[in-house]
């Protein structure tokens, strides 16, 4: 069997194996997310030659939510460099939930850019001007990672804007420690918009593959970020991308990854592939149940564990 037949086979088999799993629940603290179809389940893998393999609902759109965080971190790193970004947000695993109050003792910085507190700071670091507003830069950066023009799901954005008081509270707390360089309301609104950017499992696999390929999108051939920035982002995904289950994930699956509460999940095999899943039923840490099971089994079956 050729390598590409083995990948196609594995995706189809794992899709069939986990499609019936109905544990977990949709996130409902953003009410609009409960309108997704709980049966949707897609898997995708993009190789370094830009070939996309998929199974199931891999072309169904959903909102990025926290899957946006590593890519906006990449944008901030590219604009400001690691030293400046690190003055505002750390790179240590918090071992806490995604929405925890994360303020490092002493500096007041959020622990890392993958938890909400750190992601709000990261978004606030993206350069903002009248000619080029921060959100325009973010949308264009996410689109270059995906290799196509992405858009915003206005209903999901409105739903989170209407209910997102916890994130607003986090932004005000961080502002009070001197760790937020802009107005909290503005930072959180831009952050909610980036979370509401719509993509598919295939898009997520391309985005992960772009990080895996040292910052070059393997489908379009465009360099999106430098190899240094891609490596920095993958490092933070490996240690912090799965919040309080980051250690267990690295132990069992062995790949830098990022989850989101709409059910998207991506993982990167440096210099090898980008991988993604979509299924809206979530476990207690906000990770897609079927996605976690399928990517874990795929890692085992194809020997993807980095260690």
Interface with ligand DON (CB under 6 A): 65-66, 98-99, 116, 160, 167, 195, 259-261, 286
The answer to whether 69 and 122 are in contact (CB under 8 A) is yes
160 marked ligand binding residue = yes
Q: Which residue number, 218 or 241, has a Cβ lying nearer to ligand DON? A: 241
73 marked ligand binding residue = no
Give CA 3 to chain center in angstroms.
27
Q: Which residue number, 60 or 116, has a Cβ lying nearer to ligand DON? A: 116
Q: Which residue number, 54 or 167, has a Cβ lying nearer to ligand DON? A: 167
- Smallest gap from Cβ 223 to ligand DON, in A, equals 28
Beta bridge partners of 266: 258, 276
The neighbour count for residue 176, using CB atoms within 10 Å, is 12
213 marked ligand binding residue = no
116 marked ligand binding residue = yes
- Smallest gap from Cβ 257 to ligand DON, in A, equals 11
- Smallest gap from Cβ 112 to ligand DON, in A, equals 13
The neighbour count for residue 236, using CB atoms within 10 Å, is 25
The neighbour count for residue 287, using CB atoms within 10 Å, is 26
- Smallest gap from Cβ 21 to ligand DON, in A, equals 18
The answer to whether 78 and 229 are in contact (CB under 8 A) is yes
271 burial (CB, 10 Å; 0-12 / 13-18 / 19+) is exposed
143 marked ligand binding residue = no
Q: Which of 89, 36, 93, 31 lies closest to 61 in space, CA to CA?
A: 36
Q: Which residue number, 52 or 236, has a Cβ lying nearer to ligand DON? A: 236
The answer to whether 285 and 97 are in contact (CB under 8 A) is yes
* CA–CA dist 249, 296 (Å, integer): 8
DSSP H/E element including 17? helix 3-18
* CA–CA dist 28, 22 (Å, integer): 17
* CA–CA dist 60, 244 (Å, integer): 28
99 marked ligand binding residue = no
261 marked ligand binding residue = yes
Q: Which residue number, 102 or 116, has a Cβ lying nearer to ligand DON? A: 116
- Smallest gap from Cβ 27 to ligand DON, in A, equals 8
- Smallest gap from Cβ 161 to ligand DON, in A, equals 10
Q: Which residue number, 7 or 208, has a Cβ lying nearer to ligand DON? A: 208
Q: Annotated binding residues for substrate, as ranges?
A: 66, 116, 160, 167, 191, 243, 261
Q: Annotated binding residues, as ranges?
A: 66, 116, 160, 167, 191, 243, 261
């Amino acid at each position: 069997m050729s390598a590409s037949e083995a990948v196609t086979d594995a995706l189809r088999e794992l899709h069939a194996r986990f499609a019936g799993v109905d544990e977990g629940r949709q996130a409902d603290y953003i009410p609009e997310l409960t309108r997704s179809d709980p049966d949707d389940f897609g898997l995708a893998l993009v190789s370094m030659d830009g070939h996309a393999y998929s199974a199931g609902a891999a072309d169904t759109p959903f909102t990025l939510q926290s899957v946006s965080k590593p890519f906006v971190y990449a944008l901030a790193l590219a604009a400001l460099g690691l030293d400046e970004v690190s003055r505002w947000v750390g790179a240590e695993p918090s071992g806490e939930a995604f929405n925890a109050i994360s303020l490092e003792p002493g500096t007041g910085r959020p622990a890392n850019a993958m938890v909400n507190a750190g992601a709000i700071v990261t978004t606030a670091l993206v350069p903002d001007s009248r000619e080029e507003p921060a959100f325009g830069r973010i949308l264009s950066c996410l689109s270059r990672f995906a290799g196509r023009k992405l858009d915003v799901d206005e209903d999901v954005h409105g739903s989170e804007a209407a209910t997102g008081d916890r994130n607003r509270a986090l932004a005000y707390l961080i502002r009070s420690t001197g760790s937020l360089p802009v107005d909290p309301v503005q930072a959180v609104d831009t952050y909610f918009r980036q979370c509401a950017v719509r993509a598919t499992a295939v898009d997520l696999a391309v985005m992960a593959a772009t990080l895996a390929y040292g910052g070059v999108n393997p489908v379009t051939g465009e360099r999106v970020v430098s190899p240094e920035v891609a490596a920095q982002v993958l490092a933070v995904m490996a240690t912090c991308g799965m919040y309080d289950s980051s250690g267990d994930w690295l132990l069992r699956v062995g790949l830098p990854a990022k989850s989101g509460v709409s059910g998207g999940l991506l993982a990167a095999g440096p210099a090898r592939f980008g991988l993604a899943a979509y299924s809206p039923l979530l476990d207690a840490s906000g990770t897609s149940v079927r996605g976690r099971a399928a990517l874990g089994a795929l890692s085992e079956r194809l020997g993807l564990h980095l260690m």
